[in-house]
Structure formats: C-alpha cells, structure tokens
Amino acid sequence: MKIPYNKVHVQGQILFAARGGAIHTFSLTDGSRISSWKHPDADKVAQSIKAINEAKAEATPKAEADTPATESDGPPAKRQKLDGESESTSVNAEAPAPTTVQDEKSQTGHFDGRGKKGKGKAGKDFDNGKTRFARVPDRPVITHLTSTPDGSHVVAITGHDKAIWVFEHDGNGQLKQLSQRTMPKRPSAVAIGPDSQIISADKFGDVYAVPLLISADGSKSSASLSSLPLPSKKAFKPTATTLTVHSKGNRLALENQIKQAELASQSKDANAGGPDFELNLLLGHVSMLTALVLGEQQGHRYILTADRDEHIRLSRYIPHAHIIENFCFGHKEFISDMVIPAAKPDVLVSGGGDEDIFVWDWLAGKQLFKTSILSLAQEIAPETATIAVSGLYTLLYPSEDGPMTYILAICEDIKAIFSWKLHDNNELHCPGIIQLPGKPLSLTISPSNDAAPTVIAAIEPDADTKAQSLHAFRLTMTNGRLAVDVESSFKDKEVEANEPEISEEDVRSLLYTVESLRKVVTGGPDEEGGSEAPQGNVDSDVA
C-alpha cells in the first residue's frame, strides 16, 4: 500500500497536504498540484529499502544452495571415542570441514574463546540460518502543519528528528525553506502566537517559545522571554572516593569512571549553552503534553495546554507563562485535542479517550456541557467500546440569522466525521454523521463568505474502493445537521505513482498513535486492585 496523506491545512485558496515526509500544495480552484517539498531523509529511506530488497534477492538463491541437511536425512552421527585418545581429543565420526575463527565469527556473531557459539545482539539469528540486513532509517513523517494568519509562512514538525521547519510562502503555493531547528524533545503540539513566536509543546511536558524567523546574523536574542532556565543534566560525581576504595581493582575501576566522566563532559562543552538558536522554556507539566491552543479574553492572552493525565491548564501568555490561572477538570481519560471556536472565543471544546465531548468556560475553569461521541460512533460501528478522538475542528456556516458555529470531530479507526451545532447557550445539539470511504486522519476547513464551507479530509482509503486519500466536499445543512453536498477531487496521480510502497503495520505505527495514550489496569496494588499502565510502547514516543 501507499502511505496516505496524514495532515492537511488550508490558507486562502491553497491547500497544504502532508504525505509522509513531503508537503504538496494544491490549488483549491481547480485541484491542480502546484509544488512539492520533500524531507531530506525521505530519499535515504527509499534507497535503504531498495538496497535491502536487492540484497534479499541475491541472498535467497545462495541460502537455498547452502541449506543444511534436513531431518529426513537422519540424525547427526554420534561422537566416537578412538582408542588411545582422551575425551578432549574425541572427534566426530562425520566431522565437517574445519572452520576458521573468522568463519566462526561470521556465522555466530562472536566467538567466545571456548569453541561455543555465543549469541550477541548482532548474531542471535545467525544460528537459525537467517541473514541480517541493514536497518532502514526512521521514516520521516510530518506530524503537524500550520501557517501564520496571513499565510506568509508555513510551519511543519517532523517527529523522527524532533525538528521544526519554517517555510516562506509566496501566496501562490510555492514554498521556500528558511530554517530547520531541532528541539530538545519531540514536539507534540504547536501554535503560532500573534507576536511571531512558535509555541511548541513536547512529550516530556515542556512548552517552549521559538522565534518564527531567525535573526539575520543567526545569533541568539539577548532578551529572554522567560526566566525559567532550560533543563540541564547534572555532572556525574562518583559516590566512592579514594578514601573509601582500598583494593587495587576497585581503585582502577574508580579511576576509569572519573576519566569517562571527564571525556563525556569535554564532548558536551560545545553544546553546554544549549541549542544554537533562541529557545525559551515557558512552562512545564509533569505529564506528556498532547494538545495546545492559544486564547485571548478581556485583553489578556493565555496558553491552554492538555496532557495525558486528564488535565487542562490555563497559563498566562509570554512573558508570564509560568503563572497558572486555572484548570479545567472533568476528563477521566487522556485529552488528545482542543479547539476554541472563532465566533465564541470564551468557549473551549475538548475531547480524547472519554466517551464524551466537553464544552468549557475556559477562563473560569467551568464545565458548561458534555455530549456523547461514543453513542454516535456506535450507530455506524456497533462493536465500538471505546473512542479515541484524533481531531477537533470548528467552522462557521452562513445563514440568514448570522453565521452558525459547528464543531467537527474525527476518531481513530472510525470512518466518519461527527458534527454538532454549538448553540448560543454553549450546548452541543443537532448531532450529525458524515460517513467516509476510509479512516480520516486530518481535516481542514475552507471557509466562504456567502456560501457553505468546504471540508478537505486526509483519509486512508478502504482497499476495496477507488477513493483518493485527499477527499473534498462542500457542505449542506438539513434540519440543522451538516451533510455532504458536492464532492471534488485533487490531481495527485503523479504523487500517488511516485509514492513508495509501505506495509500496513508501518502505516499503523506511524499514523495511529492516539489510542496508545490510554492507560489500562494492570492488576497491581493501586486503586481497587489495579494500577494504571500505558498502552503500547510510550518510551519510543517520547524521545
């Protein structure tokens, strides 16, 4: 299969669509492709896969020719002791040709000096006649895609290298790369502030501010946006000393530890001052951050952050981001996304692993309303027991009485878009379901002043359909519920043809990560006979 589009973003009449490690731009007027940008590591992955496939093709006939005798040939001959020889010199009645130490190493991975086959990490499969091939580099995937309000710059995040990319946009779909900055930890959410600051949250719970544009001389700004120090590792200090260690062997071990610590310290001197670009730590959680939005109320700006431990925190904006104003408590599971409707800046909508979507007065930290999204999902997938919201979006639908605010939601492995009308009393009603020919991965809204808006969805199409990964449709409204009116497509056949093949397992591990945030009861000593543990390999996600 081909990796599908996984992130989409609209600015004006231009669609920015991320597919793996590439960004493609399309015209919303006629659906034509304008330009493409590809991550430098994308070609490395393709070349590695090609080299491995060629090596496998060459190794297959050789492996068949060198296949050892099977069980049908009978058991191996027993060792026989010859007259006048000790046990140590006994030989095999049908001994094979002698093997050199170099051959032994090449077959077993390492030679342990006793004539035995050791199984190291690099050689554990060689005893079974398997051949190891070079490891494929991490596949680049664009995890976040956004732009400045005027569309002059585009910001993208790639997860495998923890990089923030900034592009200059000419307004007609052409992108020019301006910078690539590697963050201390992998970013998990991003927003662009009104003061041209990129606000980035990471999976270790920290929020940083990075200037959108690097200064002309490339130097750091002398003015710090925050008084919080950047995290640093303490220098290694052995607990033992020459006064507590007496034996010669232990003294030698202590000296080696001190030398290694000195070498490590010297190697880090070049990076002692942190990254070579302006980076300011704003605030920190004690849990993995999953969502971030910026809000403004009563003339003051705020940073709203959500984490894996069901917390929504309200902090002041720069330069007082370390001051916590309030919390929004009510979620029982992880929070994966939040959105503030443009027409209702005092309202926050959040969702995640709970069966409900929540509506908040975020400045007061007050829950206003909640409605079930699980019950909607069960209407089209009755077997659904839990829900994992992967995206929340908002749009304005024109009407004679003024624009109406709608909330859209997509969930992992559910082939639909769910919608609600946000009424004046801040309650969600008129639930709607728009079924899709595949699993949605991302949405973006193309507004229109006097006509119904258009929704562009990045989906993983069903194998038995001819649907495209980019799916666009204009909305209509029936009895207050959103529905599909007219569908349109994009001209991406050339992109599709040039996209390399990828396994379904790789697609899931790269693009379906929200459900892994859920904690499961492991049966430990905690609450009511169980303890919470992460689902999936969280350590691999927080690097």
Q: In percent, how much of the chain has pLDDT > 70?
A: 73
Q: At 132, phi and psi to the nearest 5? A: -90, 145
pLDDT in tens, 319-348: 999 999 999 999 999 999 999 999 999 999
Query: CA 84, 90, 93, 97: dihedral to nearest 10 degrees?
Result: -120
| Homologous superfamily in CATH for domain 7-45+141-229+279-515 | YVTN repeat-like/Quinoprotein amine dehydrogenase (2.130.10.10)
State the average pLDDT for the chain: 82
The pLDDT assigned to 68 comes to 55
Provide mean pLDDT across the span 427-448: 96
d(CA 255, CA 244): 13
pTM over 0.95: no
pLDDT score of 275: 81
The pLDDT of residue 136 is 56
Question: How buried is 294 (Cβ within 10 angstroms: 0-12 exposed, 13-18 middle, 19+ buried)?
Answer: middle
Q: What is the pLDDT of residues 305-325, one digit of tens each?
A: 999 999 999 999 999 999 999
pLDDT at position 430 over 80 = yes
Contacts of 24 (CB under 8 A, 6+ apart): 16, 17, 18, 33, 35, 36, 492, 495
Q: Please state the rounded mean pLDDT for residues 141-167.
A: 97
Average pLDDT value for residue range 376-391: 97
Question: pLDDT digit string (tens) for 215-225?
Answer: 766 555 444 45
Instruction: Tell me the average pLDDT across 443-465.
Output: 93
pLDDT at 455 over 50: yes
The predicted structure's pLDDT at residue 96: 44
- Residue 319, preceding bond cis, omega within 30 degrees? yes
- pLDDT tens track for 238-257: 666 776 767 777 777 777 77
Burial of 465 (0-12, 13-18, 19+ CB in 10 A): exposed
Residue type, 53: N
pLDDT band for position 101 (cuts 50, 70, 90)? very low
